[in-house]
Amino acid sequence: MAPWCWFDAAADGPPAPIDEHDRPARPQLVYPLGDPPPAGEAREIAPGVYWVRMPLPFALNHINLWLLRDGDGWTLVDCGFGIDATLALWEQIFATRLEGKKILRIIVTHYHPDHVGCAGWLQQRWNCEVWMTETEYLSAHAAIVDGGGDSMGRAEELFRRHGLTGERLQSNAVRKSNYKKGVPSLPQAFRRILEGDEISIDGQSWKVIVGRGHAPEHAMLYCAAQNVMISGDQVLPKITTNVGVWPSQPNGNPLKLFLDSMNKFTGLPGDVLILPSHGPVFRGLHERLAQLKHHHDERLAEVVEACVEPKT
């Protein structure tokens, strides 16, 4: 599976069914905002915080992006998949929703194409800075050249070492990297953000929280004054974030990194409003983290059970 096609669930649909036997009852998440805004629109969901939804050409057919009022301009968080349809929708928003103000900066949560795809175009369009963690910036530049060490040739060798043979191996071998399809250009300079940084946006502090496992140095933003967190792909309400081992790091343990990253949220309020990259805006962060941990416990138990005797 390519790192830019992460989900096999339908958009806004539930995770793939798993055995519900003995599942402990858990509180339900709350979705306070109803339906998302139409493509090309921007809806205010908290003071100065606007929800934008852009289409994606995948089974997961959308991404949520965020416009933050910022003094005499705007800060944009994530960019959308870099195709003509997205650019046209951005121009529609610029013409109708910016109140004559400029985009002052772009914050990119991580390097996947639906998040960074329009960053190069937007940077040139508005002559503004792109803010990212360093690892995500470098990962984007590596991926656009050769898949960041995850070319299909390397992937084929990884699959072969783990027992994949015959037609299934050949079907993977014919796949090509499509990173460039969603990332026509990248910023050639950036401003680095770090864990714990406090970014002032419209006079309010947004703290950078770094998560791992889905992407190497995924940035999230938490505003205590608004009780809002932009969670990117790190915490999603209805589908589970893809966590993959890639050929460039065949002995990595990304699931441990992902689960360990959940500890970053233990001190956040239980009613924090979560703005995810996919699915609806929700409340119930700690309930969702418990669901994700339980889900991975179940799936790991299935793996252990499958290892009782040799299998392909």
Percent of the chain whose predicted confidence (pLDDT) is above 90: 75
Quickly list DSSP for the chain. Answer: --TT----SPTTPPPPP---TTPPP-PPPB-TT-SPPPTT--EEEETTEEEEEEE-SSSS-EEEEEEEEETTEEEEE-----SHHHHHHHHHHHHHHSTTPEEEEEE-S-SSHHHHTTHHHHHHHHT-EEEE-HHHHHHHHHHHHHSTT--HHHHHHHHHHTT--HHHHHHHHT----HHHH-S---S--EE--TT-EEEETTEEEEEEEE-SSSTTEEEEEETTTTEEEEETTS-SSSPPP----TTSTT--HHHHHHHHGGGGTTS-TTPEEEESSS--EE-HHHHHHHHHHHHHHHHHHHHHHTTS---
**pLDDT the model gives residue 263:** 96
Residue pair 28/282 in contact by the 8 Å Cβ criterion: no
**pLDDT the model gives residue 15:** 39
* pLDDT, tens digit, 9 for 90 and up, residues 256-280: 999 999 999 999 999 999 999 999 9
Q: Which of 278, 269, 228, 271 is CA-nearest to residue 47?
A: 228
**pLDDT the model gives residue 164:** 82
| Section 12-39 average pLDDT | 67
Quickly list DSSP for 40-72. Answer: T--EEEETTEEEEEEE-SSSS-EEEEEEEEETT
Average pLDDT, rounded, for the chain = 89
Q: How many Å apart are CA 49 and CA 31, to the nearest integer? A: 17
Number of Cβ within 10 Å of residue 233's Cβ equals 26
Q: Are strands 204-211 and 218-223 parallel, antiparallel or unpaired?
A: antiparallel
Q: How many Å apart are CA 31 and CA 276, to the nearest integer? A: 12
Number of Cβ within 10 Å of residue 65's Cβ equals 25
* pLDDT, tens digit, 9 for 90 and up, residues 65-109: 999 999 999 999 999 999 999 999 999 999 999 999 999 999 999
* pLDDT, tens digit, 9 for 90 and up, residues 163-203: 888 877 777 665 666 789 999 999 999 999 999 999 999 99
Number of Cβ within 10 Å of residue 100's Cβ equals 4
Strand partners, 229: 222, 274
**pLDDT the model gives residue 156:** 81
The band of 160, judged by pLDDT with boundaries at 50, 70 and 90, is confident
**pLDDT the model gives residue 130:** 98
The band of 9, judged by pLDDT with boundaries at 50, 70 and 90, is very low
* pLDDT, tens digit, 9 for 90 and up, residues 210-252: 999 999 999 999 999 999 999 999 999 999 999 999 888 999 9
**pLDDT the model gives residue 18:** 41
Q: Is the pLDDT of residue 147 over 80?
A: no
Residue pair 108/75 in contact by the 8 Å Cβ criterion: no
**pLDDT the model gives residue 149:** 61
Higher pLDDT, 132 or 4: 132
| Section 59-69 average pLDDT | 97
